[in-house]
Amino acid sequence: MQRRSVLKNLAIGVGGLISLPAWASNWTPDSIGNVSIVSFNEEALLGELVETFIPQTDTPGAKSLGVHQFVLRIIRDCYGQSALTTLQQGLGLTDATAQQTYSKGFMECDAAQRKDVLTKLSASTDPVGKPFVDMVKGLTIRGYTNSEFYLVNVQKYVMAPGYYHGCVPVQKIAVNGTR
Amino acid sequence: MAFLNIDSVKERTFDAIVIGSGISGGWAAKELTEGGLRTLVLERGRDVKHITDYPTTMMQPWEFPHGGQLSKEYLDANPIASRCYANREDASHFFVKDAEHPYVQEKPFDWIRGYHVGGKSLMWARGTQRWSQYDFDGPARDGFAVEWPIGYKDIAPWYSHVEKFAGISGNKDGLPQLPDGEFLPPHEQSCVEKHFTEQMAKHYNGTRPIIIGRCAHLTKPQPIHYQQGRAQCQNRSLCQRGCPYGGYFSSNSSTLPWAAKTGKMTLRPDSVVHSIIYDEKKGKASGVRVIDAHTKAVTEYYAKIIFVNAACLNSNLILLNSTSNRFPNGLGNDNGLLGKYVAFHNFRTTISAEYEGFLDTTTEGIRPNSSYIPRFRNVFKQETDFLRGYAAGFGSSRMTSADTSGIGEDLKASLMQPKYGNWRVGSHMMGETIPKEKQLHCFGPESDRSVGHSTATYFGWIRRQRREDDPGFS
């Protein structure tokens, strides 16, 4: 009898969830769309930058998870004007450094060359170089580790675990894959 | 014409009026309607219906555009509201924005508010520890503030009544300074919290016990909770979004739907109470003046019973606004005490540390609770140079992290294999402050009748209480 009322109550819960306001269910990363604080080309460049930090292997890289969009969103909405300036100048500096070193744009460089350009930027005497690399790298890591792919597959995130155990062997976690 | 007026007055007359729909207003509504009284519940803010008006409640972490972070625009516009730990991207729609109801701060004072049906019962921290007789004894013992006219034995049956209905999880610890209640099964302490508990017991000869916190979560719902339409807490710890299961207690999930089910409740959102009407002939409060939050139209409602549940400051404001020939300085304010002797919670000290032991263990699942260090200072006798005491939360967890020094495939390989670090422990204190006349909230005249502009002045702080935790603080 009690079980039946649990089920009934859960059903009420699910019924309620279906009637969420439209803006709530529409509010997903896909629907937020492009973030136009940089040009289309610059956005593409940033896509290759985040991909250089975390490349595609047998698992997705940062670009295919849209991490460059996250980076732009955070800089636009959560950081100040100076961060935006660092981003814009840094993107220019990235291409300039690639031109200087390899006589071609960053987009045309291969993976090893791109890594080299970022390492050079980090050690650059240009005051924008290191802050730019640090900011984009930090946000790339944050965006990647906050992605659905990472949270579900690596962190084994479960929204509603339904339990808490205060003391379990670490090995058990590795096997069960639940944190 | 006169006939119509009489009908209109009749329609606006109830057995009881409850001002506010937060935790206490919800309870008043439940008790009054259960008692058969036709009850009008007035809420200054918008309606928030259980489940349907929790827009973010089922959102996954990766669905938030900024990963939970509030925008710079919001932070710049809301220095006060954004200081509440629970106000993040998933819940900021429940917090009153600074510009919605501004006030003057001569000294810093964070007035965190939720102007909507349910009030702060939606965003509260859900800790529900009982007071003991020692807490009631404070003023009589040290002479500060007014002696309590009631004691623990008067309130204990009411505690039980509320706990059974709300659903309180906890362990029967048998502590005189923190009486046991009507508990659902407790949450578990982590191994590090258990270890700390044991060490403290050894170190302080049992004078500083640590327990699992008592909290308003349905760890094992009873028939009374199912009857409310609530289900077991699913350990999401996303409570500030509103809980679709009703896993924690809120007015929205519990008392208000219960009151509505009696058919005796009329809930009126967007109804800002301006003042209480005082009937000079009868010598009694007879109703309330309500301003419609949108149209600003004023309507009067009448009842013999009026409960003022508008939280601390707005309850004072309503009474101060309620002037009459008999009470020129506010209803019941012959002594001039309204708006004075406001006491605060001192919760400014936090501490965190790492623990190097128990490296072969961790936690599993999510716990919407923490361990709790009941007040141990000046409980049984005055023993320090400050008055009263403080309790503290105590939590622990083991996080994973990764070396992020590399770039490219090295960095990725490291991120894909996060390693457990040390256990991290953290504590935050909650201190009782003594109400002083100087802690004055003087409310200025309202420039806009729909929103009371108030001047909040806050002097004094129990500095010594904090100094005990933080020797660098003076």
Q: What pLDDT shows up at residue B56?
A: 98
Tell me the C-alpha distance between B29 and B414, whole Å: 56
How close, in Å, is residue A74 to chain B by CA atoms? Answer: 6
Q: Which residue has the tokens 């708006």?
A: B339
Farthest CA pair distance, chain B: 85
Verify that B74 and B219 share a domain, yes or no: no
Please judge whether B55 and A146 are an interchain contact, meaning their C-beta atoms are less than 8 angstroms apart.
no
Which residues on chain A are in Cβ contact (under 8 Å) with B360? 169-171
Verify that B154 and B53 share a domain, yes or no: no
Query: One digit per residue, pLDDT tens: chain A, 179 residues?
Result: 444 444 444 444 443 344 444 444 444 445 445 556 788 888 999 999 999 999 999 999 999 999 999 999 999 999 999 999 999 999 999 999 999 999 999 999 999 999 999 999 999 999 999 999 999 999 999 999 999 999 999 999 999 999 999 999 997 655 444 44
Name residues whose C-beta falls within 8 Å of residue B153's C-beta, 6 or more positions apart in sequence: B133
H or E, element range at B348: none
Verify that B347 and B300 share a domain, yes or no: no
Quote the percentage of chain B above a pLDDT of 70.
91
Hey, how many other C-beta atoms are within 10 angstroms of the C-beta on A157? 16
Verify that B349 and B226 share a domain, yes or no: yes
Using 50, 70 and 90 to split pLDDT, how confident is the model at B341?
confident
Closest residue to A13, CB basis, from B190, B244, B404? B244
Segment B143-146 long-range contacts (CB within 8 Å, at least 24 positions apart): B144/B387, B144/B434, B145/B341, B145/B343, B145/B434, B145/B435
Q: Which two tokens stand for residue B275?
A: 């003042």
On the question of pLDDT at B411 being above 60, the answer is yes
Using 50, 70 and 90 to split pLDDT, how confident is the model at B448?
very low
Which residues on chain A are in Cβ contact (under 8 Å) with B412? 54-55, 57, 59, 61
Using 50, 70 and 90 to split pLDDT, how confident is the model at B403?
very high
Segment B277-281 long-range contacts (CB within 8 Å, at least 24 positions apart): B277/B302, B277/B322, B278/B322, B278/B324, B278/B326, B278/B327, B278/B331, B280/B324, B280/B325, B280/B326
Domain count, chain B: 2
Quote the percentage of chain A above a pLDDT of 90.
69
Q: What pLDDT shows up at residue A174?
A: 52
Q: Determine whether A3 is exposed, middle or buried from the number of CB atoms within 10 Å of its CB (0-12, 13-18, 19+).
A: exposed
Quote the percentage of chain A above a pLDDT of 70.
75
Q: B18 in a domain, yes or no?
A: yes
Verify that B425 and B298 share a domain, yes or no: no
B211-227 average pLDDT score: 98
B65-81 average pLDDT score: 96
Please judge whether A59 and B63 are an interchain contact, meaning their C-beta atoms are less than 8 angstroms apart.
no
Name residues whose C-beta falls within 8 Å of residue A39's C-beta, 6 or more positions apart in sequence: none
Using 50, 70 and 90 to split pLDDT, how confident is the model at B454?
very low
Q: What pLDDT shows up at residue A13?
A: 40
Q: B35 in a domain, yes or no?
A: yes
Quote the percentage of chain B above a pLDDT of 90.
80
B112-133 average pLDDT score: 97
Instruction: List the single residue in A with minimal CA-CA distance to B371.
Output: A166
Domain boundaries, position B69 = 1-125+241-321
Name residues whose C-beta falls within 8 Å of residue B342's C-beta, 6 or more positions apart in sequence: B312, B313, B316, B435, B439, B440, B441
Q: What pLDDT shows up at residue B436?
A: 74
Using 50, 70 and 90 to split pLDDT, how confident is the model at B472?
very low
Verify that B373 and B307 share a domain, yes or no: no
Q: How many CA atoms lie within 13 A of A46 on its CB side?
A: 30
On the question of pLDDT at B238 being above 70, the answer is yes
B438-451 average pLDDT score: 45
Q: What pLDDT shows up at residue B201?
A: 96
CB B301 within 8 A of CB B258: no
Give the range among A22-36, A162-176, B251-265, B322-336 with minimum mean pLDDT.
A22-36
Q: What pLDDT shows up at residue A34?
A: 53
Calculate the CA B45 to chain-centre distance.
Answer: 17
On the question of pLDDT at B406 being above 50, the answer is yes
What are the CA-CA distances from residue B104 to residues B107, B278, B322, B435 (Å)?
9, 30, 22, 20
Q: What pLDDT shows up at residue B3?
A: 56
Instruction: Name the amino acid, one letter, at B392.
Output: A
On the question of pLDDT at B70 being above 90, the answer is yes
Q: B96 in a domain, yes or no?
A: yes
Verify that B58 and B89 share a domain, yes or no: yes
On the question of pLDDT at B179 being above 80, the answer is yes
How close, in Å, is residue A131 to chain B by CA atoms? Answer: 15
CB B333 within 8 A of CB B315: no
How close, in Å, is residue B270 to chain A by CA atoms? Answer: 20
B229-256 average pLDDT score: 98
CB A165 within 8 A of CB B188: yes
Domain positions in chain A are 2-154
Which residues on chain A are in Cβ contact (under 8 Å) with B223? 2, 5
Verify that B245 and B234 share a domain, yes or no: no
What are the CA-CA distances from residue A29 to residues A67, A143, B395 (Å)?
11, 12, 33
Q: Average pLDDT, whole number, for chain B?
A: 90
Tell me the C-alpha distance between A31 and A26, whole Å: 7
Please judge whether B415 and A141 are an interchain contact, meaning their C-beta atoms are less than 8 angstroms apart.
yes
Verify that B308 and B373 share a domain, yes or no: no
Using 50, 70 and 90 to split pLDDT, how confident is the model at B17?
very high
Q: B384 in a domain, yes or no?
A: yes
Mutate to test the interface with B, among A3, A78, A113 (most CBs of B within 10 A): A78
Calculate the CA B229 to chain-centre distance.
Answer: 22
On the question of pLDDT at B444 being above 60, the answer is no
Verify that B166 and B89 share a domain, yes or no: no
Q: What pLDDT shows up at residue B174?
A: 97
Ordered alpha helix ranges (H), B58-108? 72-77
On the question of pLDDT at B301 being above 70, the answer is yes
Mutate to test the interface with B, among A9, A49, A154 (most CBs of B within 10 A): A9
Q: What pLDDT shows up at residue B439?
A: 54
The tens digit of pLDDT for each residue in B144-158 reads: 888 999 999 999 999
Q: What pLDDT shows up at residue B4?
A: 59
